[in-house]
Chain A
Amino acid sequence: MHNLFSEGESRIVRPPSTALVIFGASGDLTHRKLLPALYNLYCDDYLPVNFLIIGASRTRLSDQDFRDSARESVASYSRRELDSEKWAGFSKNMYYQPTDASKESDISELGKRIEALCQGCHRDFNYLYYLATAPRFFAPISANLKKAGLVEDPEQGMRRTSLIVEKPFGHDLESARELNAKLRQNFAESQIFRIDHYLGKETVQNILVFRFANGIFEPLWNNKYVDHIQISFAESIGVGSRASYFDRTGILRDVVQNHLFQILSLLCIEPPISLSDPDSIRDEKVKVLRSVRRLNKEEVAARVVRAQYDKGYINGEPVPGYLQEDGINSGSRAETYVAMRIEVDNWRWSGVPIYIRAGKRLPRRITEITVFFKRPPGMLFRGRQVYDLDYNVLAIQVQPEEGISLRISAKPPGPRLRVEPVIMNFTYGSSFGVPSPEAYERLLLDAMKGDATLFTRDDEIEEAWGILTPVLEVWKQDDAIPLYRYQAGSWGPLEADALLTASGHAWRKL
C-alpha cells in the first residue's frame, strides 16, 4: 500500500542507522572518492547519527591500518581540509575486515563482524554494500551475500539491505542483461543502486529544476525553437592507470553509454508526474532512450566518427600517442574519441540533431551541454555590421566549473547599430557562495536514505546499450569503418567537424 505518511514529508533528515560495507576498500575509488565523500558528509552532519564504515578487501589490514590510510586519502582528496577533531569523530566508526569476496566463508565471517559491530551499538542498522570492485566480482559477491543471509527480502523484513554497483554495467546489451539478471537473483531491483556519478553533479540535477521551475524555458524546449544540441565531454588526460581497462573498452562504452546518455535523457525528458517518486523520473528517462533512433550500418558509417590520438602536446607538454602509452596493445583499435549525431525521434524532439562527442587528450577538461536555439530572421540587420545573427545558446557546464550561461545578442554602446553576442552567466560558486558537494556525497547520502532517483534502473541501462550495441557491432564487423587519427591537444579529427558542417553546424569552441 502507498505510504500515507510520506506526502509533504520531504525534509532532509539524517538517514537511519547504516552500516556501509565497501568491497574493494583498498582500491583507488574508495580512497579518492568514497572516503573523502563520507568524511564531508560527516562534517556537514548528513551522515546517520549511528553509522559504521566497514572496509573489505583481500589486502591484510587492521582497523587502524585502514583508518591511517583513509586519513591520508581524505587529506589528499577531500574538498575541505582535514580537521583532526572531526577526523577523530569520523574515523572511530571505521573498521576493516580482510575478505576474499569470492569465498563464501570470508563473506560469512564478514557478516559476523558486521553483526557484532551493530550489536555493539545497540541499534538496528540498514546494510548498504558498495561494490567498488571490478565488474567480474559483482555477481559472485551478490550471490555470496545472499547465501550468507546478509540480504533481506524488501517485502518481508524491516532492515533495508541495498547494493551499490559502479559502472561498467556490461559491455553490450547482452552482457548488461546477463548482469542485471544475475544481480536480481539475489537482490530485488528496488535494492540495487547503479551509480553514475554524473547524476550526483549539481548541474546535472539542476537540469530538471532549470527546465521545470522556470516559466520561460520549457515553452522553448522543443523542435519548434531548438535548432540543435551538443553534448561534449573532453579530457586532457590520457589513459593513465586505466590503460588495460580502457583498451578493452574504448570511450563509447566508458563515457557515452553512461554519463552522456544520462545527461541526454534528463535534457530531453518529458515532465515527470512527480519529482519525489524515483520511478516517475526514471520512467520518463527510459522513454527518451527508447525514442533514440537506432542506427543501421550505413548510418553508423555516416553519423559516427571514431578516432585515436597520436602524439602531440597538452598545455605545452609533449605527450605520447595512444599506441605508445604504457599498457596499450600495439595494434589497438580502441577509440579514444567518438563523435556522433543522433535523434530523439519523438513528438518533442523529432528533427533536432543531437551531437555527442567525447575524447581523451583534448586541449582541456570540460563537460558541457549546449542548446542552440533557432536563429531569428536576419533581414532587419542585413547590410549593417552584422554577419549572421548568432544562435542564442544555452550552455550548461557540468565540469570543471558548474554553471549555466546564456548567449544573447545585444547592441554595443555607440551611435552605430551593431549586434554582438553577450553572455549572461550563472556559476554555482559565485551565486550561492558555498562550494558544491562532490557528486559521491549526494549519491551516498541518497543510497543510505533508500532514494533511488539519481541511480540508474535496469531498463535504462539496457536501452542505452540498445542504442550503442549496433554501433559496436558494425565497428567490430566492418574493418572498412575508419579509425581516424587526431593529434593530442587538438579538438579531434577533422572528420568529426564534417559531421556537423553538412547541416550548417559547427562544434562549439570550448
Chain B
Amino acid sequence: MSDRVLLATFEHEDDLLAATDAVRRGGFEIVDAFTPYAVHGLERAMGLRPSRLTWVCFLCGMTGALGMLWFEHWTASIDWQLDVGGKPWNSLPSDVPVAFEAAVLLAGFGSVFALFAVSRLFPGKQPQIIDPRITDDRFVLVIDEANAAFDAAAVRSMLQEFHVLAVEERVTTPGGELQ
C-alpha cells in the first residue's frame, strides 16, 4: 500500500455497493470501506476472502473440549482417584458438561481476542475516524493510489456514475493509519 489513498464519499449504500464492485473490477486495490452500519453484500463487493476467524473459533473450541476432557480424566482418575457415588473413576458422562463449557468459553474468548489482535484493537487506542459522518449517514470507500493503473481523473469520472458526493486524497502515516 502506498502512502496516498483516495476517499470517495457516498450518501446511499446502494451507490457504495455498486461503486465498490466497479472499482474492484476496474483492477484497483480497495483499502477499506467505512459505513455507519453493517452493509449486506459489501464483503462480496470488496472481494474479501472468507473470514479465517471461524477456524480460530473452531480450533479454540476443540482445544477447550479435548483439553478439559484430558484434564478431568487426569485429575479424577490418574493423579488423585475420586470415588463419587460409587461411579468408576473414569466416568465420561460427568466430564462432558465441564468440557462443553470449556469449549464454549475458549471458542468465545479465542474469537474475540483473535479479532482484537488482527484489527489492532486494544484498551486506550485512539480512534482514527476519517470522517465523523461515517458514524451517522455517510459511506466512504478508500482506494489505494499505488497501483500503476491508477488514474485519478478516470477514477473520479467512474465514481461520478455512482453519485459520489466528494472525492478527496489523503496521505497515510508510516503506521498505515489514515489522517
Query: Are A and B a genuine interacting pair, yes or no?
Result: no
| A contacts, CB < 8 Å to B | none
| B contacts, CB < 8 Å to A | none
